[in-house]
Structure 1
Amino acid sequence: MKQHILELLEQSLAKLKDQSIIAADFTPRLQLDRTKDKSHGDFATNLALMTAKAAGKPPRDLAQLLIDNLPASEHIAKVEIAGPGFINFFVDDNTLANQLQAALDDEHLGVPLPESQTIVVDLSSPNLAKEMHVGHLRSSIIGDAVARALEFLGHKVIRQNHVGDWGTQFGMLLAYMEEMRAQNTEISMALSDLESFYRAAKKRFDESEDFAKRARELVVELQSGDEDCLALWREFNEISLDHCQQVYDKLNVKLTRDDVRGESSYNPDLAQVVADLEASGLLTEDQGAKCVFLDEFKNQNGDPLPVIVQKQGGGFLYSTTDLAAMRYRQNQLNADRALYFVDQRQGLHFQQVFSVARKAGFVKDGLSLEHMGFGTMNGEDGKPFKTRSGDTVKLIDLLNEAEQRAFELVKSKNPDLSEDELREIALAVGIGSVKYADLSKNRSSDYIFSFEQMLSFEGNTAPYLLYALTRVRNILRKATEAGIDASQSPIALEQEKEVELANKLAQFAEVINRLAERGTPHVLCGYLFELAGVFSSFYEACPVLSAEQTSARDSRLKLAKLTERTLKTGLELLGIKTLERM
């Protein structure tokens, strides 16, 4: 409906240009917003206010001219001028009912599919030297939710898990693996706790000069392609990636081993990246390092900041790998968009490497490079989340604790349920609560992690939404048990709360498109929370199964069914498993 009204406004604007009321070359930005107060209609535009100066007319006079030149539409009940010159559109209730029926009949809930693009989503990207910690949560789940929404809209999504599987720390780890093997220690057992293995290797590195020397030698051998060294490295990565996959599976994040493309995969191209930068005249040597200086990025003294692509000793950096990855995503993956879900503290780094990639011709103008930065997850003290001893919290430990807390909560509310049912509900509620608490916050904001708040059945939380969904499903289940089939009955919007629910359901497409465009899952969370609240108000005011008339009952059942499908689809796009009962 929003698109339809925008098209009407475009046609009205064209008529005013034909009448020379507005200059032919004047192209104002058409903006149409949903109104918060329904007495002002369903949609409003400030087009007359924006265009009044160019037309040389008072805004209200221009608003009237725009209305007078609008093509007739059966979908619009009336159009009014409000305030200094806003134009308010009232959608016809029959049109709204037909829109909802079309959504019920469509597997995509009436969400129009845009022209398909190939979109690379760079997400999670843990360092394989250690187990995943809470710092990897946001990249994994925000990136996953956006990727799901893009797939729902019909785009070809290519997930890229850019793991840290290369670099100097691997010499230390491989040296320790070598020692373990010499002592006939089972490597897989030694690596069962990656954090302990890393600490033990670091301790040996700090204490023994011979060990440190061997570690440095192994780095060189690894980077030179020594087969024995590569075999150890592959074994380490295999076990480390298994740890990651356990976390992804528990989180219900759609990442697999096929999505892994680590730093090591770009190693063969790094020297060529440097050579190509040199050939394009962008490279400068500074204190033995090879750098690109960009005038648009300067320090406090006004001097250009360097993007170092090769260290004095010949080693490469993250920037070199990122440039190689961009070139791969352009040339091999043929991406239209590349979304980077990385901590927003890396914002300057991405601005710089994006600029270098464009200046060097590594990516074309048609490839949109977008850093989807996010804030930090903090503890009650407002600082990055840590254990009481100050250590980094393993992500798997956090998820296990959430599941256990949910189990105890659900058991206290449903003592008669079997152990298996309780565990199933606890998994969905516990993991869903951790994810939703994060996803419901603005991506760019920091937030305070609190088990108590996220597991609450009140407010904008996963338990509240999961319970709201089971309540709607309970109504539909009772209708089925009673043999009621409302499929052939029309949707009729006669009561105020019916219209209110219908309007909220009709907003789903706009919300999904906004999420996909901006990479902001919190807009979907807010919408689902509002939808659950609107349905609750509708259910109190408009009896469904006990409605006095069969036609009203069947119409309301259809509204309930569309609410159920919208809540379910929305939660699934957030990567949250739903339940039949709680």
Structure 2
Amino acid sequence: MEILFNPADLIDRAMRKAALEAGLSAESFDPVVRPADPRFGDYQVNGVLPYAKKAGKNPREVATALLESAVAGNLLDPALMEWSIAGPGFINFTLTPRFSLQWLHRFVSEDDLKSGAGSRLKDRVMVVDYSSPNTAKEMHVGHIRSTVIGECLSRLLSFAGATVTRDNHIGDWGTQFGMLIWAIKRKGYDLESADPDTAVAELEALYKEGHAAYKESTEQATEIREELVKLQNGDAENTRIWNSITEVSWKSFDHIYSQLGIKFDVVLGESFYRDKVDRIYEELEKTGLSEESDGAIVVFHPEHKRFAKQPFLIRKSDGASNYATTDLASVLYRVEEMKADGMLYVVDSRQADHFQQLFLTVEKWFKTAGRVIPQMEHVSFGSVLGENGKPIKTKEGGSVKLKELLAEAVSRSAAIVREKNPDLSAEEIAEVARVVGLGAIRYADLSQNRTSDYLFSWEKMLGFEGNTAPYLLYAVARIHSIFRKAGIEESATFESATDFQTNEERALSRKLLAFPSTIDLVLADLRPHILCTYLFELAGVFSSFYNANKVIVEEEDVRARRLLLCARTLTIMETGLHLLGLETLQRM
């Protein structure tokens, strides 16, 4: 029997073939293999009941026929898995210690795991749209969720075999640039000689001045509009200023992305689509989707309770495009130029209406135009809250700057590391603090159900107890130390390992084999916290195993199988943390 990455696939394959040989496939039998309640086994086949109901047959008889067919066709190996029928027709499967041993010998490294998982989405081309800060503004704490969730999902999709394009759709065009250019000229601000560390903060202050001036007098508002028109018409000086704004902003953004180990494949902001919006207007008009309303071009969706009267604004009454227009243009570009099958938009939940209207419009537009409709999903998320239960702010009431948040995480982490490990060198403390501090920020976010708000707490996220990055990073370093003290490489083959015997050995092997199903669950729901929960539980199961079973013992076969469990726990822990975007450490 072939050992597949996800044992559930092996059961699914056997049940489908058994159904074919038992004459059930004509009724479109679907096994529906899912992880089972541990009290009853590892996996459960749930498809018998709906099939039997539809076919007018006794479900328990159908289950019996399936298993008899599978046994007769040598589709199941009793040495590798056990099975039984429960209730009205559920089929439970329990993997034997021998199966677990073979799986752990088959999937040795992170590359092996990726190769095994790589068939799941191998034909998918996905664009992940995330982070998306506005130029001339500093990234703040509100950007952390989109950035780390988007990067995690990109890694997971790639791990499962998809071709992924990371797209940072920055806000680099629009009416605000008229205000900003006006203020830059008025102040005589020289961007090219500005301090890179402070330039974006200074630009943000200049924008506020321009915005206030716009409201202050009609004369200034007229001047600001003229600056915007000059930019839109390609005026050399205003284009130079705009390019400088974009360049200095990106340097600021990229400093944060580099800290977080994030690289985008493309950075196609709103400005990239400004010469592509006319095609959108033309196509929507041609397909009859758009209409004029008070001088603007809009799309209504009569079948929708709210969007029948709430318009999707495509072009403003003054003829200007907006982010709805550029989002529509980006969908078309991604399908035509990137060959995307699907797109994920990692944007906060406040934009839910926008994306519902966007998806409805694209669906009707593409269908009418005879195009294949891509999979589009709004990966929404809640807010980061302060101790008062409201969106986190500085003491002065402003946004918490992301660069300051990351710096404080590393600083706080350094103090903890210095206290716990005073013998480490300054360089070692700095490196551990960087990995732990940045990992703590990231993990605190990803370990929450993304659709929920969560309370920001330094004490909790930097704690070494509970479901935190420091706890998991320490668990990884602890396993490295086992091999270091034993003088054995983690990559050893452990060929003399025998079947797992103790309750703790079996529990740990079962938890390790649950990794593939966990990856499937995360991809199905696009919720990274499922992986975080699994890794936290795995660390706990490993701790129970290690406390109850001495690893370095005289008996060669016992030592080998326990070291094998340690090595594979290390591989899966590190693989999982890397998928979340965290670096790991060999010493802490």
TM-score, scaled to structure 1: 0.92
Q: 1:131 aligns with which of 124, 135, 138?
A: 138
Partners of 1:121 and 1:338 within 8 A in 2 = yes
Partners of 1:330 and 1:364 within 8 A in 2 = no
Q: 1:263 aligns with which of 259, 265, 270?
A: 270
CA deviation string 1:84-140 (max 9, x = no partner): 432111223222211110001672326332224221110100111311111111111
How far, CA to CA, are the matches of 2:300 and 2:191 in structure 1?
A: 51
Q: Structure 1 residues 376 and 182, CA, compared in 2 at 3 Å: closer, same or farther?
A: closer
CA deviation string 1:45-89 (max 9, x = no partner): 223332332343444343333322324322643211223432111
Residue 471 of structure 1: how far off its partner (Å): 0.5
**Pair 1:451-2:452 in alignment:** no
Partners of 1:180 and 1:187 within 8 A in 2 = no
Q: Structure 1 residues 534 and 184, CA, compared in 2 at 3 Å: closer, same or farther?
A: closer
CA deviation string 1:373-415 (max 9, x = no partner): 1111111222211112221111111111111111111112112
How far, CA to CA, are the matches of 1:331 and 1:13 in structure 2?
A: 41
Q: Output the amino acid matched with 2:106.
A: A
**Pair 1:297-2:297 in alignment:** no
Map 1:85-234 onto structure 2 (within 5 A): 85-104=89-108, 107-109=111-113, 111-114=116-119, 115-181=122-188, 186-188=193-195, 191-193=199-201, 194-207=203-216, 210-234=219-243
Percent of aligned positions that are identical:
40
| Residue 346 (structure 1) aligns with | 351
Q: Output the amino acid matched with 2:40.
A: H
How far, CA to CA, are the matches of 2:226 and 2:320 in structure 1?
A: 14
Map 1:160-559 onto structure 2 (within 5 A): 160-181=167-188, 186-188=193-195, 191-193=199-201, 194-207=203-216, 210-255=219-264, 259-299=266-306, 303-361=308-366, 364-365=371-372, 367-480=374-487, 487-490=494-497, 492-545=499-552, 547-559=553-565
| Structure 1 counterpart SS, 2:126 | strand
Residue 202 of structure 1: how far off its partner (Å): 3.4
CA deviation string 1:125-163 (max 9, x = no partner): 011131111111111100001111122233221111000
CA deviation string 1:417-466 (max 9, x = no partner): 22221111111111111110110111212111111111111111101000
Residue 364 of structure 1: how far off its partner (Å): 3.4
| Residue 27 (structure 2) aligns with | 26
Partners of 2:296 and 2:313 within 8 A in 1 = yes
Q: Which piece of structure 1 moves more, 112-121 or 315-324?
A: 112-121
How far, CA to CA, are the matches of 2:142 and 2:548 in structure 1?
A: 45
| Residue 3 (structure 2) aligns with | none
Q: Which piece of structure 1 moves more, 416-425 or 331-340?
A: 416-425
| Residue 562 (structure 1) aligns with | 568
Partners of 1:491 and 1:556 within 8 A in 2 = no
Q: 2:14 aligns with which of 8, 11, 15?
A: 8
Q: Structure 1 residues 488 and 26, CA, compared in 2 at 3 Å: closer, same or farther?
A: closer
Partners of 1:147 and 1:157 within 8 A in 2 = yes
Q: Which piece of structure 1 moves more, 196-205 or 480-489?
A: 480-489
Residue 2 of structure 1: how far off its partner (Å): 0.7
Residue 28 of structure 1: how far off its partner (Å): 4.7
CA deviation string 1:262-292 (max 9, x = no partner): 0000000112211111111212111111111
Q: Which piece of structure 1 moves more, 402-411 or 173-182?
A: 173-182
Residue 231 of structure 1: how far off its partner (Å): 0.5
Task: Point out where structure 2 has 5 or more consecutive residues left out of the alignment.
Answer: 1-6
Q: Structure 1 residues 35 and 330, CA, compared in 2 at 3 Å: closer, same or farther?
A: same
Q: Structure 1 residues 66 and 366, CA, compared in 2 at 3 Å: closer, same or farther?
A: same
| Structure 2 counterpart SS, 1:380 | coil
| Structure 2 counterpart SS, 1:359 | helix
How far, CA to CA, are the matches of 2:26 and 2:81 in structure 1?
A: 32
CA deviation string 1:294-319 (max 9, x = no partner): 123233xx944321111111111211
Q: Structure 1 residues 197 and 401, CA, compared in 2 at 3 Å: closer, same or farther?
A: farther
| Structure 2 counterpart SS, 1:291 | strand
Q: Which piece of structure 1 moves more, 304-313 or 478-487?
A: 478-487
State the Cα RMSD in Å: 2.4
Partners of 2:382 and 2:450 within 8 A in 1 = yes
CA deviation string 1:554-581 (max 9, x = no partner): 2211221111111111111111111111
Residue 34 of structure 1: how far off its partner (Å): 1.7
Partners of 2:362 and 2:373 within 8 A in 1 = no
Residue 29 of structure 1: how far off its partner (Å): 4.1
| Structure 2 counterpart SS, 1:305 | coil
| Structure 1 counterpart SS, 2:298 | strand
Partners of 1:111 and 1:509 within 8 A in 2 = no
How far, CA to CA, are the matches of 1:183 and 1:47 in structure 2?
A: 68
Task: Point out where structure 1 has 5 or more consecutive residues left out of the alignment.
Answer: none
Q: Which piece of structure 1 moves more, 385-394 or 313-322?
A: 385-394
Q: 1:82 aligns with which of 83, 86, 102?
A: 86
Q: Which piece of structure 1 moves more, 65-74 or 136-145?
A: 65-74
| Structure 1 counterpart SS, 2:107 | helix
TM-score, scaled to structure 2: 0.91
| Structure 1 counterpart SS, 2:70 | coil
**Pair 1:580-2:586 in alignment:** yes
Q: Which piece of structure 1 moves more, 354-363 or 412-421?
A: 354-363
